Amino acid sequence: MMTRKTRIAVFCSGNGSNFKALFEAIRNKQLPAEIVLCISNRSQCGAMEFAQQNGISTLHITEKQFASFDEFAETMVERLKEHQIDIILLAGYMRKVPDAVVAAFPDRMLNIHPALLPKFGGEGMYGIHVHTAVLEAGETETGATVHFVNEEYDKGEILLQRTVPVLPDDTPETLAARVLECEHRLYPDALEKLLALRRS
């Protein structure tokens, strides 16, 4: 019997380079999954454009479009159900995911963070701030982490982690580029691991 492919929604706010890496890896590694929905708090961004160009449904949804936060959260859950989403991958989504959505996807939502959690995570630790903090702390290595999402920022169980060196002449920007390149290989590997876990 053919089992149906795992249906994925990615949440993005920016370039979507991780989204693109995931999309390509699913094809190249022939993973039993497909990205069927891109959700963003921005109507236009690299991720939304990529989705449109590749026939992936898009949903621009923000709290501002609704009378209350609860209505926003409920609508998000409804849309995810309509698209029969099995797992959610956060890839540079710059908003906190509503608790109602987290609750609807227990152990079925991942995030990627550009550091070795539990170090350099939590409120305010995003983008270039993370790499600046790593350099200021004098770390000799950093990396990326894929973790399950729960109601607490960057605190869910770690699924996969990989290190990269911090070089003596690094700036936050050179370090960010090295970590991002690592993320592009790590996230597909973490997805593969999650798919295997779900099918075992």
Contacts to ligand GRF by CB under 6 A: 12, 14-18, 91-92, 112-114, 180, 183
Alpha helices in 105-140 (DSSP H): 128-136
Taking the complex as a whole, how short is the minimal distance between the CB of residue 157 and ligand GRF, in angstroms? 17
- Shortest-Cβ-distance residue relative to ligand GRF: 92
Phi-psi region at 127: left, alpha or beta (left = phi > 0; alpha = psi -120 to 50): left
Name which of 86 and 183 has its Cβ closer to ligand GRF.
183
Amino acid at 85: I
Per-residue burial over 146-185, b = 16 or more CB atoms within 10 Å of its CB, e = otherwise = bbbbbeebbebeebbbbebebeeebebeebbebbbebbbe
Name which of 149 and 195 has its Cβ closer to ligand GRF.
149
Name which of 76 and 176 has its Cβ closer to ligand GRF.
176
Pick the catalytic residue from 113, 129, 131, 184: 113
Residue 66 CB-density burial (10 A; 0-12 exposed, 13-18 middle, 19+ buried): middle
Q: Tell whether the torsion through CA atoms of 78, 102, 54 and 62 is positive or negative.
A: positive
- 113 flagged as catalytic: yes
Taking the complex as a whole, how short is the minimal distance between the CB of residue 114 and ligand GRF, in angstroms? 4
Name which of 6 and 17 has its Cβ closer to ligand GRF.
17
Taking the complex as a whole, how short is the minimal distance between the CB of residue 197 and ligand GRF, in angstroms? 22
Taking the complex as a whole, how short is the minimal distance between the CB of residue 23 and ligand GRF, in angstroms? 11
Question: Catalytic residues, which ones?
Answer: 113
